[in-house]
Structure 1
Amino acid sequence: MATQRRVVASLLASILVVVAYHPSDSVAVERGDAVWLAAASLGALAVWFAFEVLSIGRGSSAHQLRFRKSTRTSIALDVIPWLLGGWMMLAAFGSSPPGNLRQATNEAWIWVSGAAIFGLSRRLFASDAIRQTLLALLFGCAVLQSVHALHQQLISLPQMRLQYESNPDAVLARVGIDAPQGSGERNVFENRLYDGGPTGTFALANSLAGVLIFGVLLSAAMIWQRFSLMVTSERIGWLLLFVLLAAAMMMTRSRASVIAVFCGIVFVVFMTMGIRKRVLGWVSAGTLLMITLVGILLSVFGRREWFEQAPASLAFRWQYWRSTWRMVAEHPLFGAGPGNFQSIYERFREPSANESIADPHHFFFETIGSGGVVAGILLILGMILFASEVYTKYRNGDQSKDGPPVFDRSAEIYVWIGASVGLLVVWIGGLLTLKIPDLDAHTFAVPIAIASIVFVTPSLRKTSRIELNTIALSILGAIMIHLSISSGWTIPGISIYVWVCAAAVVPDGKERIPSPDRAQTKPFEATRHKQLSLLLLLGTLAGLVCVVRMSWLPIYRETRALAAAESELIRGRLVQADRWLETAEQADRWSANASRWRAEVFRRRLVMGDTASDRLKADWRASIDRSKLRSGDDPAAYREFGTAQLHVYQRFGEMTDLNAAFETFKQAVAWNPSDQWLAAQLSEVARAKGDTKLAEQMAERARWLSGLSSNLERMLDRQWILVAEKIGEPASTAPIRQPADKVLSVSSAS
């Protein structure tokens, strides 16, 4: 059992380090960036069950073993996450179409990963040494992120701002943003560049703040609980770490993280004072439940004027949650499906809402938005079971044997070996793929993170079990508060902290115990346990085969073919590039990436030529049709397709292309009725087709939408749309755009 835990803990440590460098923030999960996590977590779980099968009965006869049984609540707590993950996978298929099946399955695997890591961590944390060592590793990862964030704030971001000021078009081209001067897209980029905070290895500052909560709270709790027992060097070290982490968190400008940390510190303070823990626990649980219920009721039945005076960011959250609730009311079984929230949400977005969001910024609404009512019920049931298990384990008298965690040097060594392997995988893999982390920042971040782990490990060894439980529970509660206001919990870089901390609070004490008393043993228990372990091993291996065959291999083959196509395009070898793109299309028949890229290549070849080749036009239009079929009901994708069709019309003036653009934009507006750019563009295309009535309706709608919320980025003079006219040679390099207010005013005058 000890070897089993140490080996699997080493595997989990590797996963934690890799996730710290590849957190898959924003829409990266939908692109398949985190499919490896499902394979790795299922692989680690398979190793655990393989040890169970191989070790039972070896070295000890069956009558020398007895088993400490888990409670029904503890067993149910293991089962519920698997039911939720299974339902999300079912929702992925059940919601596609209208959803994108590749995106849906990519995100569904995150829920499976969560079930695997949570269940695995519960078993590992029956060992005190593994629990405190993995918590120290997570703390080191938080320190790594904080140093990276400070480097960005003080060095990287000022340098990027200087580069942008000297050559804004070059910077925009480097990051892949098409934003003409004066457009709303450029305003969004500039706002994030000048007003946004550091992001670490994440894509968004709020996501980074969720991880920094872990480090800030752990250091604050250690200072509060053990300051009087520390020597001077320990006090100085912990205070410096707290300041470092808190400073980085404040630089993210995340108000949600500040609120979450405050609540976590209050919880730690009350738990260490003379107030009875049972009373405090029930009061805290009741308060959280009431806040959740009131929030849901207000989001569903509340009147808009109730929130008009609320802070802008909170008012936006109410918009997200109301729209999500309407979406679930219309699609109660599966919601939007995992991975497709952003595209389906646009149909329900309130006209005054300014942002197109990837998630509703609340873990409960994100769950029902991805899996419908059944997913919400499973989540609530899991939370109730978790609270019940916490109460059962930590009620008065249950921890009479409290004391420092049992010191196990061997377990620590295994964890550090695993972490070192994970670090090597990150950097060697980065060198091989030419995608290494920020070398300048991590020249400082890695040594400081390692030094922090070395420093905090002795302190954590001295921390009692009750103190560790309090720390883990406060961190878990704080992160969930953060996820109730900001960021999403299908981001592995954040959610893995949720899974591990939850497991640290309710570890599963089930283990094999030597039993010298023959009269009290039951020989059939070993056989039954071995059969169950074998069944679970086969199920885990089946899941591993599914994730590899269904997701990882197609994504890998497509990615490799796309990289080869890009290399051929750089060399100007268009025929060879098209062959690779065709290979990529066939490699992953659920993905729209290759077909969209192929359509883009065909479009460029079309508009750059003097005449439109019939065969090239047919290939381009076929690629557009395949892209539509694979993309699902995604208004953003249809905006891309309509723009391409209208660009070809500008170049050659064929009515077939204008009609196609008209149908594409018309469908996009139906799926996203709150987008002022789409309304303005459809108005211009309708005018060119001679549909005066629709053109006037869409122009009026575009003007109305642009005036909502008093947001400058929505103004029509910042919405650059394509002119629906034959332009010829001047449109051979790029589509001709003009501000929407100018185009619509000319249309109205004519």
Structure 2
Amino acid sequence: MKRGAERPASPDPMERMGGRLAAIGLALAVAIVAGRTFYPSEDAADGSGVIFILLEMSLGLIALACWIAGAKGPKPGAVTWSWGVLLGAIAVSTLSAAYQFPAKILLWEWVGAGMLLLFLRQQTGRTSPMPMAGLVVSLALTQSLIACWQVGVEHPRLRKMYEERHPDVLAEIEMMGIAPGSGEERLFRDRLYAPEAYGTFGHPNSLAGLLVLGLPLLVAAAELAWRWPTRPWRLAGVGIAVAIVLMGLLLTRSRSAWLAALCGLGVMAVFHPRGVRVLWPWRRWLLLAGLGLGLAVAMLSLVGVFDWLVIVESSKSLRYRAEWWWGTLGVIEDHPLFGTGFGNFGSAYLEHKLPFSSEEIRDPHNFVLELLAGAGPVALVAYLAALGFALRELWERNDQSPDTDASTLPGGTPLWWWAGVVLAAVMLIWFAFPGWAGWLGMGFWAFALVAVSGFRARAAAKTASLEHAGVEPIARAVFAGTLALHVHWLAAGGINYPGLLLPCWALLAASSGRISDWSPNFSNQVTTAVGLLILAGMFLQTLYFPLVERDRILAEVRSISMEGGSRALERRTSAQRYLAKSQPGDASHWAHLGQLETARMERSARDRGVAQEAYRQAELAWKRAIQLDPRRAAHHRGLAQTYQAAGKMGLDRQGYAKSVASWDEVIARYPNLAANRFGYAEALMLLGKKNKAKDEFERALELDRTPHPDKKLSEAQRRMAEQFVEP
């Protein structure tokens, strides 16, 4: 340093602390988005992802600490206030829900998403959208690789091992807490033999949603790579990544996702500075890509992986959705103001479903109807407003940003990004389902591929001197990907799945927001601090502690279920009874208790006193489940089967008559389910009404041959019905 020159001012300690807190928060945000995407979130209403909600609440406190440290950022505007109105509407619908526990869980999932949104918008101007875009691409690429591995290698091997009852597969099933012969094992088997790819998600449509969000970002990366002088190897890397994601999208067999992907790519072309003319120089590459995709589809068809019926029978899928949507309109008519409360739709839908429509759907497979039926019109308007304002800010920020030079663009991948990725991997190994660790190598392989996918914007600016080289294409990609995902949600649903909601809004929050130097004053900081602390206390009291207690009891029940003998059944029933009484509003706990008490009754045949007491407890449990969820056919069916078993054991002389009466209730509500008709016929046969039983067996066989019965008859049931109808 020259003599007399001024020394650079040392950074303010509070400012330095704020920067460190922001880096920690950004690492947490990356960990939350990555971890929640890999962790199955279709069952979010059961509270399995509470650890992620806890981390999201921590982000709200970090945002407050950054403000106290003097951090400046965009002033809360239309997006933030719209999101606040949305949360308020969901809270009101939760309070009015018939069953509040799943509604509370999903409410806190949305609150956690709001905390993530608040923190990332606070960082506007200090971070680039590049790292979050790179994260979404890496997640899409990793899930695509897993999908290809599943369909090509893993599932064929597991099917063979499962058919041979290999000890390794049986041990893995046991680790998952799945009892042999249970409904959970049937679901495991159905998932194993499903032709679609689903990655680590619970449904192919969920995987397809993530790929639809990531595909436009990869196209933007291809555009950046095309502009670089050293583009051949970079463009080749992006091309490989695009091919892998397209293959994963193809293997999901999700028609709504294919249409949404085309919409997203069309939006990117239309809003390109050169319009659709930008495609003309790429015509040869596009033709080659189309031929390659057609060849891949033909090869997959030859080996049996791709079935043309997926396209041919698309009208049938649309008809099913029309049936679901028509039933959903009845739910909305019954709950016009506040909705049913999230997590309560499935029960309310049963009263309005069409005769041949599916009985067991969790959502209407349309995000507009899902918000309207679950949380009411205010929630729908608030969500659409937040989405519209965020997309407008994204476009305005891109148009109004000053000329960008290399010094203002991100230099490679920041350290907090890698810290978040590592933290997500550690969390998944620690908290997630068995077998996750086996995917780690493939996941990091995908992260390595991202390094050549075109997200080093500073290198682009230095080598090509491009104005907005790394910002403008990515902004269009975020805009297109967000719209494409919502197009997919119009036919697939899933807006309540955090594994899709969080990546979408994290990407949007990191890319939108007006850059400003606003900072809350002291009174605003105090108000925010008090509000966040009250919110954190409510979260701990209403959700976290009850879930910890529930999980403790469930762990005890599962550990006992692995044991054999009547003693284990007694202990498991006792634990389930405690669980049902600790959460008396959960119909599923009472239904499970009814099953256990019925099993205890059947096992205690030699001790009539114990069997009689178990029968009484089973009857009470089933009636409680029916009282809480009167539309659920499974509850009436369970009570009928308990009466039937009691009649066989001689515990109740009116058992068969009561069983038939319960089946009458089931058939009156759901007359077009083959499994229900078969059970009804069995009860009639035991009661001695053989002619009517024959009619019901015939009806069961007729319904079993319909295009999409909810519950097909088993082979044994089908043979029994055929023998009775045609002796």
Same-fold status (TM-score > 0.5)? yes
Counterpart of 1:22 in structure 2 is 39
Given the superposition, is the C-alpha separation of residues 578 and 353 from structure 1 closer, same or farther in structure 2, using an over 3 Å criterion? closer
Alignment of 1:77-156 (within 5 A): 77-96=79-98, 100-129=99-128, 131-156=129-154
Equivalent position of 1:449 in the other structure: 446
Residue 2, structure 1, aligned to residue 19, structure 2: yes
Query: Match for residue 495 of structure 1?
Result: 501
- The question of whether the paired residues in 2 share the 8 Å contact of 1:213 and 1:257 is answered with yes
The corresponding residue for 2:30 is 13
1:258 aligns with 2:252: no
The offset of 1:586, in angstroms, is 4.5
**CA, structure 1 residues 106+458, in 2 after alignment: closer, same or farther (shift >3 Å)?**
closer
**CA distance in structure 1 between the aligned counterparts of 2:95 and 2:48, rounded to whole angstroms:** 19
Q: C-alpha displacement at 1:699, in angstroms?
A: 7.4
Residues of 2 paired with 1:37 and 1:480: CA distance? 23
- Pairing 1:39–2:39 present: no
**How far 1:399 sits from its partner (Å)?**
3.0
Deviation string for 1:708-745 (max 9, x for gaps)? 5x44x579xx5369xxxxxxxxxxxxxx9666844984
**Partners of 1:405 and 1:544 in 2: CA distance:** 39
Q: How far does residue 225 in structure 1 lie from its aligned partner after superposition?
A: 4.2
Q: Deviations over 1:12-54 (max 9, x none)?
A: 11212221321312xx1222223333332122112211332x3
Q: TM-score, normalised by structure 1?
A: 0.77
Question: What is the rounded CA distance, in whole Å, between the counterparts of 1:55 and 1:539 in structure 2?
Answer: 18
Aligned to 2:555: 563
Indicate the residue corresponding to 1:418 in structure 2.
420
Aligned 8 A contact 2:411 2:456 in 1: no
**Separation in structure 1 between the aligned mates of residue 689 and residue 77 of structure 2, nearest angstrom:** 64
Bigger shift: 403-412 or 13-22?
403-412
Q: CA deviation at 1:223?
A: 0.9
Shift of 1:202: 0.8
Match for residue 467 of structure 1? Answer: 473
- The structure-2 alpha-carbon separation of the partners of 1:39 and 1:69, relative to structure 1 and needing over 3 Å to count, comes to closer
- CA–CA distance in structure 2, aligned partners of residues 215 and 69 of structure 1: 27
Q: Which has the higher contact order (CA 8 A, sep 6+)?
A: 1
Instruction: Report the 3-state secondary structure (helix = DSSP H, G, I; strand = E; otherwise coil) of the residue aligned with 2:40.
Output: coil
1:603 Cα deviation (Å)? Answer: 1.8
The answer (yes or no) to whether the contact 2:41–2:201 under 8 Å persists in 1 is yes
What secondary structure, in the 3-state scheme, does the structure 1 residue paired with 2:562 have? helix
Q: For 1:211-226, what aligned pairs fall within 5 Å after superposition?
A: 211-226=210-225
Residues 449 and 605 (structure 1), Cα distance of their counterparts in 2 relative to 1, 3 Å cut? same
Distance 1:4 1:744 in 2: 73
- 2:526 matched to 1:534? yes
Q: Which amino acid aligns with 2:597?
A: F
Counterpart CA distance in 2 for 1:194 and 1:566 is: 26
**SS across alignment from 2:507:** helix
Q: 1:677 aligns with which of 641, 660, 675?
A: 675
SS of residue matched to 1:248: helix
Q: Does residue 49 in structure 1 map to residue 64 in structure 2?
A: yes
Q: Say whether residues 1:341 and 2:348 are aligned partners.
A: no
Q: 1:248 corresponds to which residue? A: 248
User: Residue 293 of structure 1 corresponds to which residue in structure 2?
Assistant: none
The aligned residue for residue 208 of structure 1 is 207
Q: What secondary structure sits across from 1:44 in the alignment? A: helix
How far 1:106 sits from its partner (Å)?
Answer: 2.2
For the Cα contact (< 8 Å) 2:351–2:631, is it kept in 1? no
Match of 1:516 in 2: none
Question: Tell me, what secondary structure is at the counterpart of 2:559?
Answer: helix
**Hey, what's the Cα distance between the residues in 2 that align with 1:697 and 1:546?**
56
Question: How do residues 347-366 of structure 1 correspond to structure 2 at under 5 angstroms?
Answer: 347-354=351-358, 356-366=360-370
Q: Of 578, 585, 593, which aligns to 2:580?
A: 585
1:449 and 1:190 map into 2 onto residues whose CA distance is 29
Q: Letter of the 2:254 partner, please give it.
A: S
Name the residue aligned to 1:157.
Answer: 155
| 8 Å contact from structure 1 (residues 327, 345) kept in 2 | yes
User: Comparing 403-412 with 417-426, which one deviates more in the overlay?
Assistant: 403-412
> What is the letter of the counterpart of residue 426 of structure 1?
L
Residues 511 and 237 from structure 1, CA distance in 2 versus in 1: closer, same or farther, beyond 3 angstroms?
same
Deviation of the 1:241 alpha carbon: 1.5
**How far 1:555 sits from its partner (Å)?**
2.1
Between 364-373 and 382-391, the greater mean CA deviation after superposition: 382-391
Question: Post-superposition shift, 1:216?
Answer: 2.7
Partner of residue 315 from structure 1, selected from 288, 311, 319: 319
What stretches of structure 2 of length at least 5 have no aligned partner? 1-17, 278-311, 461-468
- What amino acid does structure 2 have at the position aligned with 1:476? T
Using the TM superposition, give the Cα deviation of residue 707 of structure 1 relative to its aligned residue in structure 2, in angstroms.
6.1
1:15/1:40 contact within 8 Å kept: yes
Give the letter for the 2:213 counterpart. Answer: F
Alignment RMSD (CA, Å):
3.9
- CA shift, 1:423, in A, is 1.4
Equivalent residues of 1:103, 1:340 under 8 A apart? yes
Structure 1 segment 329-728 matched on structure 2, within 5 A: 329-354=333-358, 356-390=360-394, 392-394=396-398, 398-402=400-404, 406-407=408-409, 412-430=414-432, 435-443=433-441, 445-456=442-453, 459-461=456-458, 462=460, 463-512=469-518, 529-571=521-563, 572=565, 573-574=567-568, 575-611=570-606, 612=608, 613=610, 614-631=612-629, 633-652=631-650, 654-658=652-656, 660-662=658-660, 664-669=662-667, 671-682=669-680, 684-685=682-683, 708=706, 710-711=707-708, 713=709, 718-719=712-713
Distance 1:679 1:56, change over 3 A: same
1:554-593 superposed Cα distances (whole Å, 9 cap, x missing partner): 2221222222233234344334444433443344444345
Amino acid at match of 1:234: R
> What residue in structure 2 maps to residue 730 of structure 1?
none
SS at match of 2:494: coil
C-alpha displacement of 1:338: 0.8
Q: CA deviation at 1:628?
A: 3.8
Matched to 1:451, the amino acid is: A
Deviations 1:381-408 (A, max 9, x none): 334434544554455xx23434568356
Contact 1:123 1:509 in 2 (8 A): no
Give ranges in structure 1 of 5+ residues lacking alignment: 58-66, 278-307, 513-525, 722-735
Contact 1:149/1:199 (CA < 8 Å) preserved in 2?
yes
**Aligned AA for 2:134?**
A
Read off the aligned partner of 1:260 and give its amino acid letter: A
Pick which of 192-201 and 36-45 moved more.
192-201
- Counting matched residue pairs gives 655
Residues 142-186 of structure 1, C-alpha deviations (whole Å, 9 max, x = no match): 222122212211211111332354469998987959989xx9x98
Separation in structure 2 between the aligned mates of residue 509 and residue 671 of structure 1, nearest angstrom:
57
Q: Counterpart of 1:731?
A: none
* Contact 1:555-1:588 within 8 A present in 2 as well: no
How far apart are residue 607 of structure 1 and its match?
A: 0.6
Q: Distance in 2 between matches of 1:668 and 1:483?
A: 33
Offset at 1:633? 4.2
Distance 1:263 1:741, change over 3 A: same
Asked if 2 retains the 8 angstrom alpha-carbon contact of 1:42 and 1:116, the reply is: yes
Between the two proteins, what is the percent identity of the paired residues?
18
Post-superposition offset of 1:551: 2.0
Cα distance in 2 for residues equivalent to 1:646 and 1:173 = 31
**8 Å CA contact retained: 1:719, 1:739:** no
